[in-house]
Amino acid sequence: MDEIPEAREIPDATLREVVRSVEPEWELREAAPAERGFCSVYRLSVADDEESRELYLKASPDGQTWGLPTEARLQAVLRENTSIPVPEVLGVTDDHDERPTPYYLMRALPGEEVAYERVARLDDDALGRLARETGEYVAQLHAVPAVERFGHVRHDGPELTDEPPGGDPATLTVGDPRDEWPTYLREYASRELDRHADSRFADLTPELERWVESRIDALDGPFDAVLGRNDHGLHNLLLDPETGDITAMVDWGYTLAVPAAFDFEFAVYLYSGAFLAGLPEVSDRRNFVREEMLSGYRATDPDLAEAVAPPEPLYEALAMVRIMNDFHHLDLPDGTESAVMDRIETDLRDLLDC
């Protein structure tokens, strides 16, 4: 994996220049760095003679692209073709001699940032609403006619300087694509299992490798590529934590072209909070989340819903592998790590036995 850099500081003078390059009438009133991932993200308050606005600037921390150009264009495609609440992108600059490119400027959306682990503490009403809305939005995402092969989603449009991207799905493509889903899935699983061998769950890796390979061999197609969010979790949402209403879906830099069932299964596991069921008073709500997500998905796209309805243990296991690989990032109460790890391992072994 690429070494993750530190977010770089952007001077106020540069922030003013970025804002004025997109809209000359806007004045920067206030700027504050936001702690969102490793990119340089700033919340900006701007105003003209008539009104004030809240914006976000998302910029590369080190001059590498980190998927930012594609992320900006993907958000434009989703705003144009779905009702998924993504921020409006006002301007993209892919390359510039003096500014921290690539970067893009977008409008802020309402809602609250909620800790990743909070999903296990949402009551059933809020979690049910979150799951149904997720199902609706994921179904819309999967219906966007943008990709035909499997891999990381990229863009194939012109380079931009201080311009908004277009919303045509045809501008999206797949980098280093694979025609066959099992071929790409083997590559994906190999990368994840290499990471797993360095995780705190490494004792399980050899058994997992054998099981995953056998399950890939047993997959029954045909497989159609769709846009897959894959990076599911409360950390990439803004919402009303009391009701579970999703007000924004943010951070689309890890979008993959995958079968719909793969993306759906990841969402079920990660939004169920099952990986935290080793904590006191936390229940495993996978079945509940699956039914609520299916309800929202089926209401949006009843035909495609049949492709995601049957559970696929292989995809769930790979979602669990992601949690195990990033276990050190979980914010757990002191003294509970062993119990949480034991429960995840037990759940995984139950899958391996099926």
pTM metric for this prediction: 0.95
d(CA 263, CA 231): 9
Closest Cα to residue 131, out of 287, 340, 307, 289? 289
Q: Which CATH class is domain 12-107?
A: alpha beta
What confidence tens digit (pLDDT) does each residue in 180-233 have? 999 999 999 999 999 999 999 999 999 999 999 999 999 998 999 999 999 999
Question: Do the beta carbons of residue 293 and residue 132 sit within 8 Å?
Answer: yes
Report, as an integer, the average pLDDT of 41-57. 94
Give the whole-angstrom CA distance, residue 51 versus residue 300. 37
Phi-psi region of 104 (alpha: psi -120 to 50; beta: other; left: phi over 0): beta
Mean pLDDT, residues 346-353 taken together = 94
CB atoms within 10 A of CB 130: 26
The pLDDT-based confidence of 3 (bands split at 50, 70, 90) is low
**Contact residues for 202 (Cβ-Cβ < 8 A; gap 6+):** 196
Region 160-174: mean pLDDT is: 96
Instruction: Tell me: pLDDT of 2 over 60.
Output: no
Query: Is pLDDT above 80 for 53?
Result: yes
Of 284, 319, 294, 347, the C-alpha closest to 119 is 284
Q: What confidence score (pLDDT) does residue 1 get?
A: 44
Q: What digits encode the pLDDT tens for the residues 129-138?
A: 999 999 999 9
CATH 3.30.200.20 domain extents, the chain: 12-107
Q: State residue 157's pLDDT score.
A: 82
pLDDT (0 to 100) of residue 47: 96
Q: What is the mean pLDDT of residues 14-39?
A: 92
User: What's the mean pLDDT in 306-334?
Assistant: 96
Beta strands in 83-159 (DSSP E): 89-93, 103-107, 150-155
- What distance in Å separates the CA atoms of residue 108 and residue 42, rounded to the nearest whole number? 11
Cβ-contact 318, 186 below 8 angstroms: no
- Under CATH, which number does the domain 116-352 receive? 3.90.1200.10
Average pLDDT, the chain: 95
Asked if pLDDT for residue 159 goes beyond 50, the answer is yes
CB 234, CB 115: distance < 8 Å: yes
Minimum mean pLDDT among 67-71, 190-194, 208-212, 239-243: which range? 239-243
